[in-house]
Structure 1
Amino acid sequence: MEPITLPASRPVPIHPGIPLLGNTLSFLQNPLGILTTLQQRYDRMVHLRIGGRHQYLVLQPDDAKHVMQENHRNYGRSPAFNVLKIFLGNGLLTSDGDFWRRQRRLAQPAFHRQRLAALAQTMVNETTDWIDELQRLNRRHPVNVSQAFMDVTMRIVCKTLFGSDTIGKLDGLSAALDTLQYQANQRMLSPIRFPMQWPTPAHVRFRKAGELVDSFIYGLINQRRRDGSDQQHDLLAMLQSAEDDDTGERMSDQQLRDECVTLFAAGHETTAVSMAWTLHLLTGHPDVLTRLQTEVKTVLGDTRTPPPDAFRSLPYTLQVVQESLRLYPPAWIMSRLALADDPIGPYTIPAGSTALVSPYLLHRDPASWPDPERFDPDRFGPAGGGDVRHSYAYLPFGGGPRLCIGNQFALMEMQILLALLVRSFTIESVPNQRVDTHPLITLRPKKSISVYLK
């Protein structure tokens, strides 16, 4: 019998760089700019050398689906996640293999639709109180909505994750999380990394911030162990009571800590940043804002705290959120470590190298999104082409088995925040305010976004 001969693999195009450093400096200076250049210059895949590693950026939705879903078992967490592990621990975002599968199985029931519906009332209540505080501000001054959303999402994630025990304990917590993420980002991108044991100023700040977060989280876990969690209905109680179907085991305190810190950091910061981007987009599109306000006022009326079910009848509000996440996806790039050689079309991603998937690029691919830079929530409406668009052309929460476990939680929270805000205020831009992107671990604005709330 004749052996089957596979087609010879062609070399992946290499993007020109400089000796020794490859593409590291250009990527550090302007990552979104170089990504856009790569999308325009290459068709399917390009070989980069960043941080001393060989990285393969896939540019087509089909290939992104191959890496993240169809052949996902060939890909583990990339070395970049080792930096995140320093403060996130071994939670769902950073763990791998059988341990990750067990943790995902244990945590999944906490995010079932019925459980989330019970948390929606908390979101409505916290947002309503926050709107009352905004009403008392001086209308002649712009509002730093980047910080305002950080404040309210912190309150929401504390209430939904930990219950009411956290009231009065939030001082410095948001700043500590911000320090941890910023320092992790700097370490991830830096070509020179000193051991964490060295007492550099950055390492000292990192350690102190981590100690504050750990003290807060472990304090709540220990208190819940003492008091019992039977009467609580927050996410911590659900995680504490989750049992492995095969062994009957529950999460240890360390595992609970790691999952709580992961959910706390992701649920707080990414939602706040996404909401600030949404308001920035609305200030430049008054027609979208008017249509949004009309829908919200018609459906919600004047009831101070509308029932959570009412927000399901706001399709255009959800479309605005989805389109904002298309243009400014929090996870702007994702990386996976190839465990074995992986043929993709005429190319091969070698074992030990990193595969890169960029939602920022896929969301701006003209083949999937005509006039991709235009803000148009109707892309997600009935006539927007979603029935024919590739499922991996839109990845605001990742894809495959590692799809973000809190994606429905985040969408529900953003819809509630946006609807209640535009019901009470119209939004106007601050003249001469320059808003630029600042791609850290998440896609942030370079400076805080401010708007007038009229």
Structure 2
Amino acid sequence: METLVPVHPGLPLLGNSLSVARDPLGMFTKLHRQYGRIVRISIGGRNQYMVFQPEDVKYVLQENNRNYVRSPAFMVLKRFLGEGLLTSDGDFWRKQRRLAQPAFHRQKISLLAETMVQESAAWVNELRHLNLSRPVNISQSLMDVTMYIVCKTLFSTNVEGRLTGLSHSLETLNVLANRTLLSPIKIPRSWPTPNNIRYNRSRAQVDGLIYEFIHTRKQSGERLDDLLDMLMNAVDEETGEGMSEQQLRDECVTIFTAGHETTAVSMAWLIYLLALHPDVLARLRAEADAVLGNVPNGGKSPGLDSLPPVAAFRSMPYALQVVQEALRLYPPAWAMSRMALNDDQIGPYRIPKGDTVVVSPYLLHHDPANWPDPDRFDPDRFAEGRDKDRPAYAYLPFGGGPRLCIGNQFALMEMQILLTFFIRAFDFDLVNAASIRPKPLITLRPNHPIQVKLSARG
């Protein structure tokens, strides 16, 4: 029997757009508490069905995923990312996923993780040589090191000399895309507004760098152990085809953009949380010392020789738990949306063709029904066996179903390695803890860069 979806009241024409734009997390949390399972709101003149329960989320993302494609909101990202894995749909997406998947197998990640170890050690060395009497903008520092890591693992090169300009371009694209996403008025891309001019200039700078890397590799014919090589030489088993240059560009831009920004933001939140929880930090250091204590250098001293093997980082279960808990509290992809291709039902509720379903990992991760005392930082939630009674779709830091983020293991390994090097090298205190709040842009960022006072250890 069909049941009417409850509708949250809004303003004429604007619907709920202003409330969501002012405070998305607060508004969504209020809706969750008030309606429990599902509610219909209106944003930008479109009906949006927010679902709050893990079983309904599983239905949309997994069980009936072919009926739910990227919503119109993704057109904002598609302007920049093109038809990459994050924004494409249907048969084209399935083909691209088949082509890209081998590059992210565990064996390949282990190979790329060697680069993560080297770059993490270099990053710690650079921090040691700063004037540590002054606070360090750790948010920006993490943006820089994760960009170096993605450049090395994707292109076997770095962007020294162009880092500032590139970082500024990516930040501009992020801010303008988010502004467009939340605005009820959509300005045509072709209009020469100041924002469109800034957007196009920033995109051109990023595209220029990506195409430079692709063309240089094609002309050299060089084979390297990086993601670009794997993508360039991938062949679809069903069709025998590889990727066009445009497809290569789109996948590289997607990996390049998502592969550094989301990790950097998550790492900044992680350092913020550890500074507030010295007991967790002490336990984390004890595990790292026990595993790396017998490894020369072990990620603690400033030298770059005799770095610990990648396998050592897989022997730190508590470090992984700490990362997972930080991703629970502050999931970078805090909300996602899907459009119904055909009429459907979620439980007894009808979802009309063309309308959008919204899923919020942030709400799922803070639901006391599945996470007792949900705002508390407790890595033991992810200890072995603790998840046996928890719904699988109560935890979605990387999405779920067939569209689970292809780089999830890459990101987890990168965060563990960066974290281990950092906590063994430095003691740290927050400078601006009282002012930090989550700011939901396209990713869930801190509202201000996180500043820390560092002091070298040992």
Identify the TM-score tier after normalising by the shorter chain: over 0.9
1:132 to 110, 115, 125: 125
Q: Is the 8 A contact 2:136 2:454 kept in 1?
A: yes
The residue correspondences of 1:213-224 to structure 2 (distance < 5 A) are 213-224=206-217
- Answering whether residue 264 of structure 2 is matched by residue 272 of structure 1, we say yes
Stretches of structure 1 lacking an aligned partner (at least 5 in a row): 1-6
Residue equivalent to 1:380: 382
Q: What amino acid is the match of 2:396?
A: L
- Answering whether residue 136 of structure 2 is matched by residue 143 of structure 1, we say yes
Distance in structure 2 (CA, Å) of the matches to 1:351 and 1:179: 34
Q: What amino acid is the match of 1:282?
A: L
Report the Cα offset of residue 169 of structure 1.
Answer: 4.3
In structure 2, the residue corresponding to 1:79 is in which secondary structure?
Answer: coil
Q: Is the 8 A contact 1:159 1:166 kept in 2?
A: no
Distance in structure 2 (CA, Å) of the matches to 1:306 and 1:64: 40
Q: TM-score, normalised by structure 2?
A: 0.95
Report the Cα offset of residue 166 of structure 1.
Answer: 4.5
Distance in structure 1 (CA, Å) of the matches to 2:425 and 2:195: 42
Residue equivalent to 2:247: 255
Identity %: 61
The residue correspondences of 1:271-350 to structure 2 (distance < 5 A) are 271-301=263-293, 302-304=297-299, 305-350=307-352
Residue equivalent to 1:113: 106
Q: Is the 8 A contact 2:148 2:158 kept in 1?
A: no
Report the Cα offset of residue 263 of structure 1.
Answer: 0.3
Distance in structure 1 (CA, Å) of the matches to 2:450 and 2:157: 30
The residue correspondences of 1:155-170 to structure 2 (distance < 5 A) are 155-164=148-157, 166-170=159-163
Report the Cα offset of residue 173 of structure 1.
Answer: 1.0
Stretches of structure 2 lacking an aligned partner (at least 5 in a row): 300-306
Q: What amino acid is the match of 2:298?
A: T
Q: Is the 8 A contact 2:178 2:441 kept in 1?
A: yes
In structure 1, the residue corresponding to 2:314 is in which secondary structure?
Answer: helix
Residue equivalent to 1:183: 176
1:122 to 102, 109, 115: 115
Q: TM-score, normalised by structure 1?
A: 0.96
- Answering whether residue 405 of structure 2 is matched by residue 413 of structure 1, we say no
Distance in structure 1 (CA, Å) of the matches to 2:42 and 2:269: 31
2:231 to 239, 242, 259: 239
Runs of 4 or more above 2 Å deviation:
164-171, 301-304
Q: Is the 8 A contact 1:77 1:94 kept in 2?
A: yes
Residue equivalent to 1:4: none
Report the Cα offset of residue 23 of structure 1.
Answer: 0.6
1:152 to 133, 145, 148: 145
Report the Cα offset of residue 307 of structure 1.
Answer: 0.8
- Summarize deviations over 1:291-313 as a string: whole Å, max 9, x none: 11111122112434211110011
- Answering whether residue 89 of structure 2 is matched by residue 96 of structure 1, we say yes
Distance in structure 1 (CA, Å) of the matches to 2:432 and 2:187: 43
Q: Is the 8 A contact 1:75 1:338 kept in 2?
A: yes
Distance in structure 2 (CA, Å) of the matches to 1:432 and 1:406: 30
Report the Cα offset of residue 87 of structure 1.
Answer: 0.6
Q: Is the 8 A contact 2:71 2:337 kept in 1?
A: yes
How many pairs were matched up? 445
Bigger CA drift: 76-85 or 428-437? 428-437
In structure 2, the residue corresponding to 1:306 is in which secondary structure?
Answer: coil
Distance in structure 2 (CA, Å) of the matches to 1:58 and 1:400: 16
Residue equivalent to 1:67: 60
Distance in structure 1 (CA, Å) of the matches to 2:426 and 2:406: 32
Residue equivalent to 1:212: 205
Distance in structure 2 (CA, Å) of the matches to 1:361 and 1:297: 36
Residue equivalent to 1:422: 423
